[in-house]
Amino acid sequence: MVNISEKFKELKNIAGTLEGIHVEPLDLKEPFMELASRFAHLPGTVALMSGGDLDSARYHILGARPWLTVKAYGTNVVLTAGDQVLNFTWDPIDALSRILSTYSVSINDNSLPVGAGLFGYLSYELKDFIEVLPRTVMDARHLPHICLFAPSIIVVYDKFENRTSLCVAKIIGSGRQTVEQTLVDFQSIKTRPLNHKAVFTGGRSGLTSSFSKDEYMEAVRRIKDYIVSGHIYQVNLSQRFETDFEGDPFAFFSTLYEKAPAPFYAYIHAGDHWIVSTSPERFLLQKGKCVETRPIKGTRPRGKTKEADEALGRELTESKKDDAELSMIVDLMRNDLGRVCEGGSVKVDEHKRLEAYQNVFHLVSVVTGKLRSEKTSVDLIKATFPGGSITGCPRIRSMEIIDELEPVRRHVYTGAIGYIGFHEALNLSIAIRTATICKNKIFFSVGGGVVYDSDPEDEYHETLHKGQSLMGALQPQTADSAPKKFVWQNGVMKHEAQAKILISDLGVAYGYGFFETIRVNRGKIDYLEDHIRRFYSTWDELFQTPLPDLTWDEIISQVIEKNGLGDTTAAVKIMATHGEPNDLFPDHGLVVSARPYVSRPAIEKKGGLGLAVYPHPRQTPLAAHKTLNYLYYYLAGKWALANGADEALIVNPDGSVSETNTASILIIIRERIIQPRSPAVLPGIMEKQVIECFLQWGYVLETRNIIPEELFGADAVFITNSLIGAVPVLSLDGKQVSQNADLCTRICKEILK
């Protein structure tokens, strides 16, 4: 059992104690966006920008230089202060509540919306710690459920009063900076030159969606069936788009803000990922005990002319469907607030307000209440999260249906973004129109509420209208112009996304298949006959069925041409799978694919590769074939990288050298070329060419057992495969091996013509 009290004593030891908030006016002589850009590169920076002139768009807020970071991956809670990390297992919402109470503080300036607190996001999946819900969709990203930062610096700009305030947390203990030191650091960063060259690119590969159009429309029809059956009245259904992204996430954020400002823009530098949100919807506002929510339901695109624009706004205002949808969600939110507010205090201050944004119109309602004296900000969140406008009604059954129909987890989408103060202050938006940038990818979801009379086609197009602000900034290529990957599968050229292998295929179930990798340089196929001879030899031994009668050079040329690789070096893979377990006539699968070949960075940088002896000897006769059961070699390669090497040296059960995880190995000792003997090893196509070169130059071939230590006495050691040609080995287990770069260059000129 985790002793939570001890953990929080330890937290105070490493993070210090919050004794108060220093507040002073700030003479801001530049646009707030420029100030935020100076801090944007620092992990833990959060910028909350209020665009437009709506009454909810009053403050710009910057939080930076966090003295505490709070992340929760399910029940794994990770608290970080400086270089100290506190890790324990607990309910993440309970942990959040305990952190807020531990650092509770008062603020003297009541005109400020926030002076100290936690800034960041709560993911949609936090719902699983509030309600008992199914989880049938894989979490492929492994991003946090809670990601919050306690800034040591908070800057608040009041647009209505044209006033800027600087707030600095007074942290006592654990060697924390004084307020004076923090102010000096702030001024230092504030006066740094701006990075005017920050750029971003995205969408070059085109947008991919978690749904096809037909699949999305079918999901809408499924929801309508649930409505007819009495399960629900409404469900919010979304689809996720994904594409490539490179460059500066803050440049993307500021570009979006210029194009289409909205009240709840947010930028979060979360360390290993970034969140960029352009949400128009307030989830929760708390000032003392006064609380507010502003659900949005109903959307129309903006018109291209004044007349068309007015007509679309009027159409939305007069829509009975949208009125019913909004009223339903307002009732849900009133009930939610009623669980934690004083009796009779929950009111609908305004219903069905038409709000105009850059790309769309929305209908908005304002619901307010007064929090009961014993209830906290976390109680308010638990009573209302996730927001009803982006789940459905009733909420729990709606979330179950979302889990059933949506193929990916939502993560931050339809969660909440903003701040939770240490002094009874809270302002969270619904995380819609929100993108996550991670590992050179950007993904975002868009959705809409489905009701009984929803039209599937209209619902699909509504998601596109809502996502237009993000899509437009990325300027993705159209489906026709975006580059596509094509493969040849069983006689048919297909887009890669349409190439499918059944899960009952033994190639999937057991790795019962094999492949060849072939180098193609500017349309010239290297050593095709040798590759096909080896491929057919494996076919005879493993499949024992008639060989496919195919013109391989023609197939490969078609794949190269279709993928636009005729003017470059490409890696072509021929793959065969057994098919389903049919003893008489197995339905074998054949696939030919191609990709650009780029030399490994380690080779380009060092001119060779370092090896490390893999501690797990290989003991399978299948090593004589290039089977699809390649996990051993894959794990060996990962092990090598983790241990500071580039390749794993694979050894036989007796400890003698066999090969590396991707290549054959050859040893030069004086005038001999030595090929390691191995009871089962793949005969290398490029290895054969290298050996023939050496034989022509007067070397003598010797095949014998080699132990790893003998590599240190060699004149040179090379590894070879069909893509890299021949590459020198530089080291083994960190110890240098003799090299002959000129000899390697001479070999490559001969074999890679």
CATH number of the domain at 541, please: 3.30.470.10
Interval 436-465 mean pLDDT: 92
Output the pLDDT for position 480. 45
Give me the helices (H) in 521-658, please: 528-542, 552-562, 601-606, 631-642
Interval 372-386 mean pLDDT: 97
Cα pseudo-dihedral 49, 54, 56, 61, rounded to 10: 20
Alpha-carbon distance values, 35 to 193, 267, 362, 724 (Å) = 11, 13, 31, 49
For the record, the structure tokens of 546 come out as 């008639």
- The residue annotated as part of the active site, out of 125, 242, 281, 647, is 281
d(CA 324, CA 227): 14
Output the pLDDT for position 471. 80
Distance, CA of 710 to chain centre:
45
Asked whether residue 412 carries a pLDDT value surpassing 50, the answer given is yes
pLDDT per position as a tens digit, 573-615: 999 999 988 756 678 999 999 999 988 888 888 989 999 999 9
Is 524 in the same domain as 646? no
Output the pLDDT for position 649. 97
Among 421, 441, 474, give the residue marking a domain's end: 474
Helix (H) or strand (E) holding 221: helix 213-228
Q: Is 289 a catalytic residue?
A: no
Q: Establish if 41 belongs to a structural domain.
A: yes
Count structural domains, the chain: 3
Residue in the structure block whose two tokens are 């380690």? 602
Q: Establish if 480 belongs to a structural domain.
A: no
Helix (H, G, I), strand (E, B) or coil at 225: helix
Structural domain including 711 reads: 601-751
Output the pLDDT for position 325. 87
Among 425, 451, 474, give the residue marking a domain's end: 474
Q: Establish if 251 belongs to a structural domain.
A: yes
Is 727 in the same domain as 591? no
- The residue annotated as part of the active site, out of 71, 127, 224, 297, is 297
Is 572 in the same domain as 693? no
pLDDT per position as a tens digit, 34-91: 999 999 999 999 999 999 888 999 999 999 999 999 999 999 999 999 999 999 999 9
Is 535 in the same domain as 578? yes
Written as one letter, the residue type at 268 is I
d(CA 658, CA 680): 8
Output the pLDDT for position 476. 55
Output the pLDDT for position 561. 93
Is 56 in the same domain as 164? yes
pLDDT per position as a tens digit, 681-701: 989 999 999 999 999 999 999
Share of the chain above pLDDT 70, in %: 98
Is 163 in the same domain as 48? yes
d(CA 381, CA 383): 5
Exposure string over 603-626, b if 16+ CB within 10 A, otherwise e: eeeeebbbbbbbeeebeeebbbbb
CATH number at residue 747: 3.20.10.10
d(CA 206, CA 194): 31
Is 416 in the same domain as 353? yes
Written as one letter, the residue type at 256 is L
Share of the chain above pLDDT 90, in %: 75
Asked whether residue 151 carries a pLDDT value surpassing 60, the answer given is yes
Those residues with Cβ within 8 angstroms of residue 131's Cβ, 6 or more apart along the chain or in another chain: 396, 399
Round to the nearest angstrom and report the end-to-end CA distance of the chain.
66
Is 467 in the same domain as 501? no
Output the pLDDT for position 343. 94
Helix (H, G, I), strand (E, B) or coil at 453: coil
Is 398 in the same domain as 281? yes
* Listed range (35-49, 133-147, 259-273, 712-726) with the worst mean pLDDT: 133-147
Interval 652-659 mean pLDDT: 95
Q: Establish if 481 belongs to a structural domain.
A: no
Is 52 in the same domain as 172? yes
Output the pLDDT for position 146. 98
Interval 132-148 mean pLDDT: 90
pLDDT classification of 171: cutoffs 50, 70, 90? very high
Interval 554-563 mean pLDDT: 94
- Adjacent-strand bridge partners of 592: 488, 574
CATH number at residue 448: 3.60.120.10
For the record, the structure tokens of 677 come out as 């003997």
Asked whether residue 467 carries a pLDDT value surpassing 90, the answer given is no
Output the pLDDT for position 500. 87
Among 596, 626, 645, give the residue marking a domain's end: 596
Is 232 in the same domain as 327? yes
Neighbours of 160 (CB within 10 A): 9
Output the pLDDT for position 1. 59
Are residues 658 and 652 in contact, defined by beta-carbon separation less than 8 angstroms? yes
Those residues with Cβ within 8 angstroms of residue 165's Cβ, 6 or more apart along the chain or in another chain: 23, 24, 25, 26, 109, 112, 155, 156, 158
Beta strands in 233-376 (DSSP E): 234-247, 264-269, 274-279, 282-287, 290-293, 296-301, 347-356, 360-370
Q: Establish if 681 belongs to a structural domain.
A: yes
Asked whether residue 27 carries a pLDDT value surpassing 80, the answer given is yes
* Average pLDDT of the chain to the nearest whole number: 92
Q: Establish if 616 belongs to a structural domain.
A: yes
- Adjacent-strand bridge partners of 612: 648
Strands 200-202 and 208-209: unpaired
Q: Establish if 479 belongs to a structural domain.
A: no
Q: Is 215 a catalytic residue?
A: no
Higher pLDDT, 414 or 3: 414
Interval 181-190 mean pLDDT: 93
Is 611 in the same domain as 579? no
Short-list 518, 456, 458, 435, CA closest to 240:
435
Neighbours of 322 (CB within 10 A): 21
Output the pLDDT for position 623. 85
Output the pLDDT for position 3. 85
pTM > 0.85: yes or no: no
Those residues with Cβ within 8 angstroms of residue 393's Cβ, 6 or more apart along the chain or in another chain: 232, 233, 234, 328, 329, 331, 332
Q: Establish if 163 belongs to a structural domain.
A: yes
Dump the DSSP string for 515-530.
EEEEEEETTEETTHHH
Interval 166-192 mean pLDDT: 89
Helix (H) or strand (E) holding 94: helix 92-102
